[in-house]
Amino acid sequence: MLELVDEAGVTIGTAEKLSAHQAPGRLHRAFSVFLLDERGRMLLQRRALGKYHSPGVWSNTCCGHPYPGPPPFAAAARRVGEELGVAPALMREAGTVRYHHRDPDSELVEQEYNHLFVGMVGDAPRPDPDEIAETVFADPAELERMTGDRPFSVWFPTVLDAVRPALRGLASGAGW
């Protein structure tokens, strides 16, 4: 189950996850985490091939949907641990972004009120293979090359643009 929200992010109900992603989509709460290493490189993940939604595509460090009730920050920190086997350091809120994207491959819809978080990661990821096929650390130039020749999630450009100011403050001069 996930939280349905209005345009202001106020909870208005709940829905089963898959039904909220079926066209035309229902606006719901989500989160996206962006973690950098000590060199200012972003930890990216390629989603596991067995996932029903956007399998095998690259995306930000971690994303998901908080269960109804707990705050998005707690859900984001929990999912980083579950998916990547690491604890985020200095993680902080970095705003919200609202978007509506259709995945052309699955026809599923991302209509989300997304809470953004940035932080640091000091340990090597130990990804859960049911969630993540592989990980990589990329600086801005490497990310640019990757987006030119690898598939990325439909939401990634939107959340990356929205979180860039917070990344610049975190990475101080890393080029984000």
Residues with catalytic roles = 63, 112
Instruction: Give the residue carrying structure tokens 């109804």.
Output: 68
- Measure CA 103 to chain center: 15
Beta strands 42-47 and 89-102 are unpaired
Q: If we measure between CA atoms, which residue out of 32, 126, 138, 29 comes closest to residue 83? A: 126
Q: Tell me the β-bridge partners of 14.
A: 3
DSSP annotation of 3 reads E
Question: Alpha-carbon distance 135 to 154, whole Å?
Answer: 18
- Measure CA 110 to chain center: 12
